[in-house]
């Protein structure tokens, strides 16, 4: 039987042949691709010709093409549409792939060639991009332990394999807890809920084969339920299930998994000569040091906490007026905050949502990209990996630029959250390759599907990441698109959120699902006025998570992460009615891989820049100023990781920003 993953892909735009791919194809394809990659690497290392950039660094870029292609399909499907078979493949191949990577980075002959090219780099007449790629390759090998010898090298290989296994286990435990918990709701529990929440729990019940409405732990269902459910005991039950993900005891409990991950990361950093994992991880980021990260977070923490405590007192008064005694609790905050928002801004999310149709918000994101960058989007009728996914061809001046896939609806097989990924990244070497980019979200289904304002911001956020991939224009895929410092990668996504708040965008695309009428100017003004509402709560839950993440990775790892988490929150004076946005047992950003470990702060680091960058548009002539759009593409969106992030940002803006624009943007400035 021919394995479609290993054949030439004949679908339009060389898309994966999704309709022919079965779970049984993945394991043999990965095995074959790993063997091919290793043979290519060994041949490269054994090349008798003197090392050069072309035969060593570019040679390395030529290896592993089949493996990259196969894993691009597998990992995208495993995250967006998991099956028991895919989960088993993840468990089987995570340590195998880690060992495969360790063998490449530990290949002494290969590293010797890279080292020789590095030492003689000035003799090769490299372009700035080639010089950057050489530096990154050399640095990546050193940071992976290529210079380690003997027992240290062997131990590094063991650590990487174990971390890969634990990251997979953490992710699958979390998915299992989110998938398995459900609460059947009697009809009277729907009293007081707006129509879109009722539609969401009915749709969840239908998906799970229940006779009636079902509450699940999908964020798109549980957060609005906590906002609108008047039944306090039911809110408490739902909230406790939500925050208990990953710490329910038994096989899916993540607390010991997190502790082992932290210990192994610290050991890995020490083997490489760093004091702790935070110092190792932050060395290559814009922040550079843990002290710089903590300085930013604490500069925001105090004004955010002060605002949150003021808001908590007001919400507690409302609770008292409802006849509820005792302190405000975490399961009360969203409910009473929503009531306060309705009163202070005369803004009711149930009235707002019909104006935020998913399809119209997709159109809005596309239209902004057209006005800013000249991109056009044409719907494609092609086979995809799930019936809910949709695809568009992206063109500019009639020329093909990319394929964009949107997968927007929550389902039990999809991990929580929202993300941007790629089946294929942009490059010009070793062949010209147009990107295939995917945005994955977890919005509630409906007819039509309606978004909260936060949902709409998420859609724009992830599309900002997609634009970073779509507009990439570099030679080598290792610096393509979002292959940048972690605390820079969120700049394009968070910056793009600002266009949702441009009045003319909402005026055109925020149209009522039933009447087709545009959002009334009065409601639009209220939406924009309320943009920073409840920002104390949102900032506190985020910054607390970022500070816990940073503390976990500074110094010696905690033997008991939960005790350390409690200690950090106590020292901060965490408001009692607010919890971390991501507590340790379900902190997927930090524990399913190294991506955001010691790096959850990066959203806020990027926000300092995105607030400043949008001010540049406003100062220049408005949100669609063509000269600023050209600068944004030229210096940030098209350049990938071809230069240091601070260099790119300074070229765009003329300087680096301070924290003032962020505090102003969040409504927290003194």
**Coil vs helix vs strand at 186:** coil
User: Looking at the annotation, which residues are catalytic?
Assistant: 462
Residue count of the chain? 670
The helix (H) or strand (E) run that includes residue 112 is: helix 108-119
Give the start-end residues of each E strand in 137-243.
182-184, 214-216
- Cα 537 to chain centroid distance, Å, stands at 21
Distance CA 388, CA 493 (A): 23
Count of Cβ atoms closer than 10 Å to residue 318 Cβ: 17
Q: State the Rg of the chain over Cα.
A: 25
Distance CA 263, CA 256 (A): 11
- Cα 448 to chain centroid distance, Å, stands at 26
Give the start-end residues of each E strand in 365-416.
375-380, 390-396, 399-409
Cα dist from 3 to 6, 7, 21, 26, 39, whole Å: 6, 7, 8, 9, 20
Give the residue among 285, 223, 303, 291 at the shortest CA–CA distance from 665.
Answer: 303
- The first and second tokens of residue 510, run together, are 């925020």
Residues 34 and 100: beta-carbon distance below 8 Å: yes
Residues 99 and 161: beta-carbon distance below 8 Å: yes
Phi, psi of 420 (to 5 degrees): -115, 135
Distance CA 329, CA 234 (A): 13
The owner of tokens 């309709």 is: 19
The owner of tokens 């994101």 is: 365
Residues 537 and 308: beta-carbon distance below 8 Å: yes
- DSSP assignment, residue 411? -
Distance CA 418, CA 279 (A): 28
Task: Give Dmax over CA atoms of the chain in angstroms.
Answer: 83
Distance CA 566, CA 563 (A): 5
* HSE-CB for 233 with a 13 A CA cutoff: 1
Distance CA 421, CA 403 (A): 12
Give the residue among 466, 424, 472, 423 at the shortest CA–CA distance from 441.
Answer: 466
- Facing residues of 316 across strands? none
The owner of tokens 């935070």 is: 278
* HSE-CB for 53 with a 13 A CA cutoff: 19
């Amino acid at each position: 039987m021919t394995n479609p993953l290993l054949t030439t892909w004949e679908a339009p735009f060389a898309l994966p042949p999704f309709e022919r791919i079965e779970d049984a194809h993945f394991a043999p394809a990965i095995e074959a691709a790993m063997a091919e990659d290793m043979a290519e690497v060994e041949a490269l290392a054994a090349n008798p010709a003197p090392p050069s950039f072309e035969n060593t660094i570019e040679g390395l870029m030529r290896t592993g093409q089949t493996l990259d292609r196969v894993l691009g399909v597998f990992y995208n499907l495993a995250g967006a549409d998991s099956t028991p078979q895919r989960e088993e493949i993840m468990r089987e191949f995570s340590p195998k792939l880690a060992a495969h990577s360790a063998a490449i980075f530990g290949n002494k002959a290969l590293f010797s060639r890279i080292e020789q090219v590095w030492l003689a780099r000035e003799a090769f007449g490299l372009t700035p991009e080639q010089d950057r790629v050489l530096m990154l390759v050399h640095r990546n090998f050193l940071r992976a332990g290529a210079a380690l010898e003997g027992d240290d090298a062997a131990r590094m290989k063991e650590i990487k394999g174990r971390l890969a296994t634990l990251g997979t286990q953490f992710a699958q435990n979390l998915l299992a807890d989110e998938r398995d918990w459900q609460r059947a709701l009697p009809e009277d529990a729907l009293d007081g809920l707006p129509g879109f929440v009722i539609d969401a729990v009915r749709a969840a019940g239908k998906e799970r084969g229940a006779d009636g409405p079902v509450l699940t732990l999908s964020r798109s269902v549980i957060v609005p339920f906590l906002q609108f459910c008047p039944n306090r005991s039911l809110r408490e039950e739902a909230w406790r299930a939500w925050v208990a993900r990953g710490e329910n005891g038994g096989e899916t409990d993540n607390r010991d998994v997190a502790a082992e991950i932290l210990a192994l990361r610290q050991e890995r950093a020490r083997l490489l000569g760093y004091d702790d994992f935070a110092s190792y991880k932050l060395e290559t980021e814009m922040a550079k040091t843990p002290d710089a990260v903590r300085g930013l977070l604490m500069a925001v923490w105090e004004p955010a906490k002060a605002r949150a405590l003021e808001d908590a007192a007001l919400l507690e008064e409302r609770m008292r007026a409802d006849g509820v005694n005792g302190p405000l609790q975490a399961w009360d905050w969203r409910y009473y905050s929503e009531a306060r928002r309705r009163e202070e801004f005369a803004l009711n999310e149930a009235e707002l949502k019909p104006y935020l149709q998913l399809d119209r918000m997709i159109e809005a994101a596309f239209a902004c990209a057209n006005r800013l960058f000249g991109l056009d989007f044409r719907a494609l009728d092609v086979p995809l990996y799930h019936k809910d996914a949709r695809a568009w061809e992206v063109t500019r001046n009639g020329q093909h630029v990319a394929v964009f896939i949107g997968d927007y609806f929550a389902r039990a097989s999809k991990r929580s959250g929202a993300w941007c990924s790629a089946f294929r990244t942009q490059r010009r070497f070793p062949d010209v390759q147009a990107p295939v980019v995917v945005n994955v979200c977890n919005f509630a289904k409906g007819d039509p599907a309606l978004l909260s304002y936060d949902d709409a911001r998420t859609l724009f956020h992830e599309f900002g990441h997609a634009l970073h991939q779509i507009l990439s224009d570099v030679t080598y895929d290792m610096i393509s698109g979002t292959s940048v410092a972690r605390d820079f990668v969120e700049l394009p996504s968070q910056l793009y959120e600002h266009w949702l708040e441009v009045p003319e965008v909402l005026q055109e695309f925020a149209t009522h699902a039933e009447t087709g009428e545009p959002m009334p100017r009065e409601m639009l003004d209220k939406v924009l006025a309320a943009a920073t509402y409840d920002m104390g709560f949102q900032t506190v839950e985020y910054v607390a998570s970022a500070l816990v993440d940073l503390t976990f990775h500074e110094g010696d790892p905690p033997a008991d992460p939960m005790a350390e988490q409690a200690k950090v929150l106590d020292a901060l004076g965490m408001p009692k009615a607010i919890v971390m946005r991501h507590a340790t047992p379900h902190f997927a950003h930090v524990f399913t891989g190294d991506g955001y470990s010691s790096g959850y702060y990066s959203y806020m680091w990027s926000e300092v820049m995105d607030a400043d960058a949008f001010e540049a548009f406003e100062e220049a002539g408005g949100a669609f100023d063509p000269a600023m759009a050209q600068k944004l593409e030229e210096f940030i969106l098209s350049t990938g990781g071809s230069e240091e992030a601070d260099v790119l940002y300074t070229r765009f803006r003329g300087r680096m920003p301070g924290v003032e624009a962020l505090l102003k943007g969040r409504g927290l400035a003194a």
